[in-house]
Amino acid sequence: MKAYILAFLLAGSLFMPPVWAKNNEPDLVTLLSQHSNYTDVKISPDGKHLAAVIRSEGRRSLVFIALDGFQMTGSVRFPGLVEVGTYHWVNNERVVIELAESVLWNTEPRIFGEIYAVNYDGKKSEMLFGYRAGEQQVGTRFKAKEGRRAWGRVVDTLEQDNDHILITATNWNAGGDGMAEILKMNVYSGKTKRLAAAPAPYSSIITNNKGEPRLAVVTTKTAGQDVYLRDKDKWNKLPADWFGEGINVLAVSPSDDSLLLVDQKDTAMPALSRIDFTGKRTVVFSDAKVGITDVELTKKDNQPYALRLDDGNPAYVLLDKTMAESQLFKNLTIAFPGEVVSVTSRSSDDMTWVIYAYSDVNPGAYFLYQKKDNSLRKLMDRKSELNGLPWSETTAVNYPSFDQLPVQGYLTKAKGQSKALVVLIHGGPHGVRDYWGFNEEVQLLSQSGYNVLQVNFRGSGGYGDAFQRAGYGQWGDAVQKDISAGVRYLIAQGVVDANQVCIMGTSFGGYSAVQSAAIDPDLYRCAIGVAGVYELEQLKSDGDIPQLSFGVAYLDQVLGTDQAQLKSYSPVYRAGSIKAPLLIIHGKRDRRAPYSQAEALRKALDKQGKTYQWLDFDDESHGFYAPENRKKYFDSVLSFLQQHLKP
């Protein structure tokens, strides 16, 4: 294993030669289908070791590297279908891992709540929590102890306690709505001590600087949010009028008397605010056009020092320019002009930082910053085989929709002089948006000769509560009109040929592609629906969303309850209006948009005698995880587009 990994470590960065086709051009479909080589690079608390997730025989493994000499000290790779999920440094030598596991009939790994621990030298490995913690696994180092059929999730690594972490444990059930326990766990033995129970199902627990459970943000049965404060071993629900929409609690203050959060209350957009535990609110920062994408906090006292905004291209705001972290972050943005910059981790003394940077034409790389000599060193590339290729730039576009509502999106120009357009619609649709940056699917289409338009239509996240709610009950109408308005804007600008437009997307994007082809049949030459929903009323009874205690309430909120409108907004009942050839792609293991949705659409298309192509996967769920399946998907999309568009 060590020899395998070290073979790819050259001069402190990952090198992998690109795959070449027969004409001596890079095989882009194969390259872009592959998983990332390196992800989740983090520094140990003492700043002496790095941990990084790598791909080993198709599975996520963990490798440890000593900064002194950049030599590998250990690794962990799990047997069978188990792999590394999220991981955390808990002291200078030990890491805890939330495991993921796929099954033979589904390639995408799932979280079953198991927590595993290992030292940076690969020793003292231990299954700490989960259903297999009570099994002795033959041929592995899983040790026998009491197993528990529950989801374990790390809440706090307790920086001042080298031997323990806090986790939540929620017993398995169909809807995941059990009452979680908050446990203090020994990271060497797995022994736990119960501290408290969450105040309600679906609770996100936030601790204070002492590592005590202090706040809980709860998703209610009506798909709303409540906030609870724990005081003297009792949870107390805080008044609802203290909070706005989209509550995201970031931290409890060092003085333990207030919280830091992003929400939208009496501001044009979601704002960064402090609320003390008497209810007094102080707005720290609010933008007039967009919400806050990310907040950088200081290591020791969780003070915000920098914000990221995404009004088109990303921009940064320094909150207190006198803070050392602000000055350093400013210098990092200067060192990476025109790129997205984030801090993945820092040593306890704040002397060593791991930085991740990427752009629209840079697939991303990790860097090491060391304060002692003010040095910045490249560590490894996310996908080094993509480096140096002539990727297409992405630019922001803004246009008025049919009702003059301002809509923002992104345009990536085609390689060459093509005026053909593929409209690529994001999933969600609510609380989700497209961002500027490197996108494998966008680049594949662009390099294949197609301009690509991404639209942050009404209902998308990031533009405030009113914009998001404007998409509620409008899936099949105003949302689709926002998208077609973007296409017509590009046609009017002379960027796009009106007779060379195709629309595609995954999840909601798959729904949108087929619904748009039905309600605007003369605009689109073809449409591709991937993992889509096509009968909206059926979505309220099938799949995993209705199994959640708040699932049907959420769907009623965003879809509406008018039966006639739901039918009108369902492509299954609009199939007769579709003129464009369709490509329908779906995974048979999909639980979010069940395979029955695709089958219902196929039945409707057959009844109407419509032209379509069909591709399904026996071993995929909501999207495509296995590289070989992603390649087959990409090949099918390009073949279909070549039949109907002329790049």
Between CA 180 and CA 82 the distance in angstroms is 24
pLDDT of residue 249 exceeding 50: yes
What count of Cα atoms within 13 Å lies in the side-chain half-sphere of residue 579? 8
Which residues are within 8 A (CB) of 285 and not within 5 positions of it... i.e. 6 or more apart? 271, 272, 292, 307, 317, 319
Residue-wise pLDDT for 203-243, tens only, equals: 999 999 999 999 999 999 999 999 999 999 999 999 999 99
Residues 6+ apart with CB under 8 A from 390: 415
Each residue's pLDDT tens digit, 335-389: 999 999 999 999 999 999 999 999 999 999 999 999 999 999 999 999 999 998 9
Dump strand ranges (E) for 390-517.
394-400, 406-412, 421-425, 451-456, 501-506
pLDDT on residue 102: 78
CA distance 192 to 167: 9
Transcribe 71-88 into DSSP letters: EEEEEE--STTEEEEEEE
Cα(645)–Cα(647) distance, rounded to whole angstroms?
Answer: 6
Q: CA nearest 280: which of 217, 238, 236?
A: 238
- Read off the pLDDT of each residue in 500-519 and give the average, rounded to a whole number: 97
Residue 144 has pLDDT above 60, yes or no: no
The arithmetic mean of pLDDT across residues 278-292, rounded, is 97
Please check whether residue 483 is in contact with residue 456, taking contact to mean a CB–CB distance below 8 angstroms. Answer: no
> Superfamily assignment of 394-644 in CATH?
Alpha/Beta hydrolase fold, catalytic domain (3.40.50.1820)
**Which pLDDT belongs to residue 145?**
54
| pLDDT greater at residue 619 or residue 633 | 633
pLDDT reported for residue 199: 96
Q: Does residue 624 carry a pLDDT above 90?
A: no
Q: How confident is the model at residue 135 (pLDDT cuts 50, 70, 90)?
A: low
Task: State the chain's mean pLDDT as an integer.
Answer: 91
Looking at residue 174, its pLDDT comes to 62
Q: Which pTM was predicted?
A: 0.92
What's at 157, amino acid-wise?
Answer: T
Report whether 224 contacts 243 (CB < 8 A). Answer: no
Specify the pLDDT at position 19: 47
pLDDT the model gives residue 14:
35
**Binning pLDDT at 50, 70 and 90, where does residue 16 land?**
very low
DSSP state of 198: -
* pLDDT at 325 exceeding the cut of 90: yes
Q: What angle do CA 57, 59, 60 make, to 5 degrees?
A: 125
> Would you state the pLDDT for residue 176?
66
What is the per-residue pLDDT for 12? 33
Give the residues across from 39 on adjacent strands.
53
**Assigned token pair, 393:** 């730039």
- Residue 554 pLDDT greater than 80, yes or no: yes
Q: What is the pLDDT of residue 134?
A: 67
Burial grade of 541 (CB within 10 A; 0-12, 13-18, 19 or more): exposed
Q: What was the pLDDT predicted at 8? A: 30
pLDDT digits (tens, 9 = 90+) for 574-591: 999 999 999 999 999 988
What pLDDT score does 416 carry? 86
pLDDT at 105: 64
pLDDT of residue 23: 56
What is the maximum alpha-carbon separation in the chain?
71
- The rounded distance, in Å, linking the Cα atoms of 557 and 552 is 8
Pairwise CA distance, residues 410 & 395, whole Å:
6
CA atoms within a 13 Å half-sphere pointing along the CA-CB vector of 177: 14
Burial class (CB within 10 angstroms; exposed 0-12, middle 13-18, buried 19+) of 138:
exposed
647 against 49, higher pLDDT = 49
Cβ pair 358, 443 in contact under 8 A: no
Residue 265 Ramachandran class (φ > 0 left, ψ -120 to 50 alpha, else beta): beta
Closest CA to 361 of 427, 487, 446, 434: 446
Q: Cβ atoms within 10 A of the Cβ of 564, count?
A: 7
pLDDT attached to residue 139: 41
